[in-house]
Amino acid sequence: MAINDDVPGVEVTVRCHERPLHELEDPNAHDNDDPGASPPTTTKYIECVDNTNFDISIVVDSSYAWGYRDHVLIAATYVDGERIRGSVIRSRETDFEGLAIRQIKGQEVCNNAGTWSLRRFKFAPVKTIDDAQKDRVENDLKVAKSLGTIEVKFTRAIEYGPSTSNRIHNTREGAFELAEKSLKGKAVSHGTSYGVCETIAMPTWVDAREIVDDDGPILVYKFIYRSKDALKRELIIPRSPSRSPTLENMTPAERDRLARERLNELREQKIKRENRNPLIKRELGEVLDLTQDPPAPRPVKKSRLGGKEVDVIDLTDD
């Protein structure tokens, strides 16, 4: 679950099948830290799976500081930049029950007949098409800007009583199909679509007005959801180490290529050895290998002249 020490007692979790998704740290969080920034923001990455339903769990406990002007908390949920709903959380819930829990499972929609339905959140894979038309790319750039993000913004407000709403929401359906150019340089892999309608009772609304002195939210939680491959591309999780090749996992073509390369290496080594042992001509028809031991000295004949012994060399020898 995501927490922020600047505003204790407030937690947000994205869940699948009622189990929290594993949260990964934003590697650029410290680079973007600004001590004077407002509001405090916590950003986490989460891994998503194609066409899996999810919900957003919001928990406020008694450690939250309720003392200021008897306010209520408004938890406004945004998915892919679209406001889903605002949930009102009151101090008496944490005072007497210990925890205030809100689970946002989808978008509440009303049709023209006045029937209310819940359409559950679902991770939808993004497909790209090769469409370079200017209008298409510009429109898809706007969609891609906030795609793959979930935000919950907490605002302090003063409650004045019940209210009414006549808003009719138009929600996305099916898979996302964007021009490839609109995603250039982005690792966006999924967006949020909505499942089949489930009939629900008409929601209730509250007239709650933000405290002007706060100048906006006091806390923001942001979740960036991506596929495993996209998380690897963004270096949020380490890439899988490449396996060392073995003969067993090679294709026949790869083994043939490896054999040819080894054969060429052996031929080159043989040529180099021969070049290191040069053969030099000594006389016509005779070749001397300089790497062999020197030949034995020729026998020398001796003759006596005037009583003296003289060495004689026979020049007729080969």
pLDDT value, residue 101: 96
In order along its 318 residues, the chain shows pLDDT tens digits of 788 999 999 999 999 999 999 999 988 776 544 555 679 999 999 999 999 999 999 999 999 999 998 999 999 999 999 999 999 999 999 998 889 999 999 999 888 888 999 999 999 999 988 877 888 888 888 888 899 999 999 999 999 999 987 565 555 665 688 888 888 878 899 999 998 889 999 999 999 999 999 999 999 999 999 999 999 988 898 876 656 566 666 666 667 777 877 888 888 888 877 777 655 555 555 555 555 555 555 555 555 555 555 555 555 555
Please report, for residues 148, 163, 206, 226, the alpha-carbon distance to residue 186 in angstroms, rounded to integers and kept in the order given. Answer: 11, 41, 39, 11
Please report, for residues 42, 249, 253, 303, the alpha-carbon distance to residue 237 in angstroms, rounded to integers and kept in the order given. Answer: 19, 26, 34, 96
Residue 10 and residue 3 in contact, taking contact as beta carbons nearer than 8 Å: yes
d(CA 100, CA 104) in angstroms, rounded, equals 13
d(CA 307, CA 287) in angstroms, rounded, equals 42
- CA atoms 123, 128, 131, 137: torsion sign: positive
In the chain, where the domains are located? 2-233
Residue 301 and residue 313 in contact, taking contact as beta carbons nearer than 8 Å: yes
- CA atoms 125, 130, 131, 134: torsion sign: positive
Which residue bears the tokens 């020898």?
317
The identity of residue 126, as a single letter, is: V
Q: In terms of residues, how long is the chain?
A: 318
